[in-house]
Structure 1
Amino acid sequence: MDNTLKLSAEHKLARREYAREWILYTKDVWPRVVFSDEKHGTSTGHMDTSDAGKTCASGSVRRYVARMVVAPSWCGVGLAAVYMLPFAHKHFGTEYIFQENNASIHSSKRTTEVFEEQEVKVMKWPTRSQDLNPIENMWIILSRTLYDNGKKQYCSVAELRAAVLAAWDAVDEATLAKLVDSMSKRLVKVLDKKGNKTRY
């Protein structure tokens, strides 16, 4: 995956440090990671960034997707409190890791306090590292389903929402598992490329 933003020497160093830290973990840890990302869609165009939130966990847990229908900041906590924490606690107790994607709401003081109160282990994410996040690949899969059938636009937000949920429902567990299992390979590739962008 080619990211449009260039990587500085500091970005590359942070990516290498992240890879060195997490490559030490076995493949068993990745199904316990709740990955996060944000996308936004309009009825007349492809999905872009910001107003919908999604969390994804692999393993025996059924997929979960939630569109943000509340303000981006809910009591200063946002998606983490409204969707992610109840979902993750229900399926994992406290035995999971939340991957924060550098969204400002995830690093706010109140959100940090909530994570600490709920004993949530947070995976610090290197800036400009979309290629390391398997959810980015999931967005591509969903976009292809939504638009590759020749449909260029949707008549309403409700129609788009229904189409997104249907596309998400069509994703099988094997696809999710494959994306999550790719994390170890992504980290190896980052180290091989000395922190530069990968093809993921």
Structure 2
Amino acid sequence: MGKIIGAKDLSDNAKKSIVVGRQSGLTMKTLAGMFNVTESCISKLLKSCNGKVGFPVRRRTGRPRITNRMEDRNILMTSRNNPRLPAPAIRREVFVNSPSPPSVATVKRRLNAAGIMGRRPAKKPLITKKNRAARVKWAKDHLNWTRQDWNKVLWSDESKFLLFGSDGIQWIRRPVGSRYNPKYQLPTVKHGGGSCIVWGAFSGTGMGPLHRVKGIMNQHVYKDILQNQMLPHLKSMGRGSIYQHDNDPKHTALLVKDWLKSRRVNVIEWPSQSPDLNPIEHLWEELERRCKNKRAKNSDEKFAQLQYEWSQIPMSSIDTLIGSMRRRCQAVIDAKGFATKY
């Protein structure tokens, strides 16, 4: 005998056959054996349809909906017009003239049912209209660059790595009432425990230098990095190589510009507020992941960890990042200059 099934698993034709069979004189035990259900299941089915072959739709029990279709639509339209409005504000705006407005929980349920959930917004740079136009122009100018063209670019940037903890929000799952259990706490230290600032570069042909920045990063420190770290690596890439850096004030200082010009360094024009166009941002993320579970006693030890993991980043990661440049350019064009998922 197969597995016993319930009335919910029976098809409408099976239910009709059971009613007809009962009317024809078959016992409930016989019907239960024929359809592989229990006798109580047959009994409940016959009671629910009063022995008739038809199965009328029964009205749902429980409290009736407090909002109608028009009110539900207004809730969704208000949220879509201003995604930053919280549920209480949506309730006040939609039901301003209603003598008995629904609860905030009801408004939340209508939004959730439509797939509009409360989420933390992605943080992206504020991009002005002028910069959006510059981003689109840059993306169109470089949309059809080949892999060989991108291989000539030396990408660079600076990043900060904490010695203790993380800059991001961390989540845990814990039982109710265990907030202060040491198992579910996030340890902290005063002043963040220190940090290690680095300058790094890479190209489509491999990883470049990773240099530790001691003290304040200003135009003089940056010029020294260019002279001692960047320039030797750029020359090793061959003729026609291009250097990339963003429009940070220390990068665009007159001292730095004059030095680059005197050394005949070809610098790619870069649109402001465009970290999504610089693939090195993803290398920083990978480097952070690689060092996540490693404790460092001081900044020297931290930099040693970073330098080792930087050298271990595989060529496949570089190939993936360089291969994404066309998609990045297309994404900027499609977004009309606004920030993209990159």
Whether these two folds match at TM > 0.5 is yes
Distance change >3 Å, CA 67–CA 75, structure 1 → 2 = closer
Structure 2 SS opposite 1:107: coil
Question: Which residue of the partner structure matches residue 237 of structure 2?
Answer: 92
Match of 1:101 among 246, 252, 256: 246
Match of 1:28 among 127, 140, 148: 148
1:109-134 residue CA offsets vs partner (Å, 9 max, x unmatched): 12212222222111121111111111
Q: CA RMSD in A?
A: 2.4
Question: Which residue of the partner structure matches residue 198 of structure 2?
Answer: 52
Question: Which residue of the partner structure matches residue 160 of structure 2?
Answer: 40
Q: 4+ residue stretches of structure 1 with deviation over 6 A?
A: 47-50
> Does residue 6 of structure 1 match 2:126?
yes
Following superposition of structure 1 onto structure 2, how do residues 93-132 of structure 1 map, counting pairs within 5 Å?
93-132=238-277
Deviation at 1:42, TM superposition (A): 3.2
> Does residue 77 of structure 1 match 2:247?
no
Give 2:130's aligned amino acid: E
Deviation at 1:16, TM superposition (A): 0.4
Distance change >3 Å, CA 50–CA 95, structure 1 → 2 = farther
Calculate the TM-score normalised by the size of structure 2: 0.52
Question: Which residue of the partner structure matches residue 181 of structure 1?
Answer: 323
Give 1:8's aligned amino acid: T
Counting strand residues as a fraction of each chain, which structure ranks higher? 1
Distance change >3 Å, CA 117–CA 3, structure 1 → 2 = farther
CA distance in 1, matches of 2:222, 2:310: 28
Looking at both structures, which has the greater relative contact order when contacts are Cα pairs under 8 Å and sequence separation is at least 6?
1
CA distance in 1, matches of 2:213, 2:204: 21
Contact 1:35 1:135 in 2 (8 A): yes
Identity value in percent: 25
Contact 1:80 1:106 in 2 (8 A): no
What stretches of structure 1 of length at least 5 have no aligned partner?
A: none
Contact 2:162 2:196 in 1 (8 A): no
Give 2:156's aligned amino acid: S
Contact 2:209 2:230 in 1 (8 A): no
Structure 2 SS opposite 1:52: strand
CA distance in 2, matches of 1:76, 1:69: 11
Calculate the TM-score normalised by the size of structure 1: 0.85
Distance change >3 Å, CA 88–CA 41, structure 1 → 2 = same
Distance change >3 Å, CA 58–CA 85, structure 1 → 2 = same
What stretches of structure 2 of length at least 5 have no aligned partner?
A: 1-121, 169-194
State the number of aligned residues.
194
